[in-house]
Amino acid sequence: MGKFLKNFGLGLVYILVLPIFLAALAIAAVYGFFACIVLFCHATYRFFKGEDPFKRLDDDKKVDTIKIAQMNNEMHLQPAAPAQSIPASPSNVYVQQNYYQNNRANHQKEANSEAAKPVEANGFYKDAPALGGASRKNQAIDVTPKETPSLTSNHSAPAMPNRQQTLGFIDIPKDDDGKDK
Amino acid sequence: MSLIDISLNETDRRLLIVLLIVLILFFVLLGLLGMLIRWISNEFAKRMDYELHDVVVYRVIQDPKSLRKYGMIKNNRVLFKQAIAPFIIAFLSLILYLVYSSVTGLWAKDHFSEFSTLFFNFDWSNPKFYDYFWGLYLLKQWPDWIPSAGPMWVGDFWDSYLLVPMWLVSGVYFAVDIQAFLARLAMLEKRCRTVFNKSLDGYNYYDTVSINSPGQKENEAPKQQRQQ
Give the tens place of pLDDT for each residue, B80-139.
999 999 999 999 999 999 999 999 998 888 999 899 999 998 888 888 888 887 788 888
Of residues B170 and A122, the one with the higher pLDDT is B170
Phi and psi dihedrals of B151, rounded to 5? -80, 135
Least confident of A157-171, B35-49, B65-79: A157-171
Select from B28, B79, B87 the Cβ nearest to the Cβ of A35.
B79
**Residue B18, pLDDT score:** 85
Rg of chain A in Å (alpha carbons): 41
Residue B215 lies in a domain: no
The yes-or-no verdict on residue A53 having pLDDT over 70 is yes
Helix (H, G, I), strand (E, B) or coil at B65: helix
Burial of residue A76, with CB atoms counted within 10 A of its CB: 0-12 exposed, 13-18 middle, 19 or more buried: exposed
pLDDT band at B142 (very low <50, low <70, confident <90, very high): confident
The yes-or-no verdict on residue A137 having pLDDT over 50 is no
Select from B24, B35, B174 the Cβ nearest to the Cβ of A10.
B35
Least confident of A56-60, A81-85, A163-167, B120-124: A163-167
Select from A7, A54, A59 the Cβ nearest to the Cβ of B55.
A59
Helix (H, G, I), strand (E, B) or coil at B4: coil
What's the mean pLDDT when you consider all of chain B? Answer: 86
Asked if A149 contacts A155 with a C-beta cutoff of 8 angstroms, the reply is: yes
The yes-or-no verdict on residue A10 having pLDDT over 60 is yes
Asked if B115 contacts B164 with a C-beta cutoff of 8 angstroms, the reply is: yes
Q: Which helix (H) or strand (E) holds B18?
A: helix B10-57
Nearest residue in B to A10, CA atom: B31
| B36-43: average pLDDT | 91
Domain count, chain B: 1
Rounded to 10 deg, the angle between the B10-57 and B158-194 helix axes is: 60
Domain that holds residue B51: 45-192
A131 interfaces chain B, CB cutoff of 8 Å = no
Asked if B190 contacts B52 with a C-beta cutoff of 8 angstroms, the reply is: no
> What percent of chain A has a predicted confidence (pLDDT) above 90?
25
pLDDT band at B140 (very low <50, low <70, confident <90, very high): confident
The per-residue DSSP string of B176-218 comes to: HHHHHHHHHHHHHHHHHHHTT----TT--TT-TTTTS-TTS-T
Nearest residue in A to B66, CA atom: A59
Mutate which of B21, B24, B28, B44 to test chain A, going by most A C-beta atoms within 10 A?
Answer: B28
* Residue closest to B186 by CA, chosen among B75, B82, B83, B80: B75
B181 contacts A28? CB cut-off 8 A:
yes
Asked if B90 contacts B173 with a C-beta cutoff of 8 angstroms, the reply is: no
Residues in chain B: 228
- CA–CA min distance A57, chain B (Å): 8
| B47-76: average pLDDT | 93
Residue B28 lies in a domain: no
Please, which residues have CB within 8 angstroms of residue B165's CB and are 6 or more apart in sequence?
A: B115
Residue B139 lies in a domain: yes
Predicted complex ipTM exceeds 0.95? no
pLDDT band at A95 (very low <50, low <70, confident <90, very high): low
B60 contacts A14? CB cut-off 8 A:
no
Chain A positions touching B38 (Cβ under 8 A) are: none
Asked if B124 contacts B146 with a C-beta cutoff of 8 angstroms, the reply is: no
Residue B198 lies in a domain: no
Q: What is the DSSP letter of B155?
A: G
| B135-160: average pLDDT | 85
Least confident of A80-89, A134-143, B15-24: A134-143
Residue B15 lies in a domain: no
**Residue B146, pLDDT score:** 86
The yes-or-no verdict on residue B157 having pLDDT over 50 is yes
Q: Which of A87-91, A97-101, B57-61 has the highest mean pLDDT?
A: B57-61
Least confident of A46-60, A126-140, B44-58: A126-140
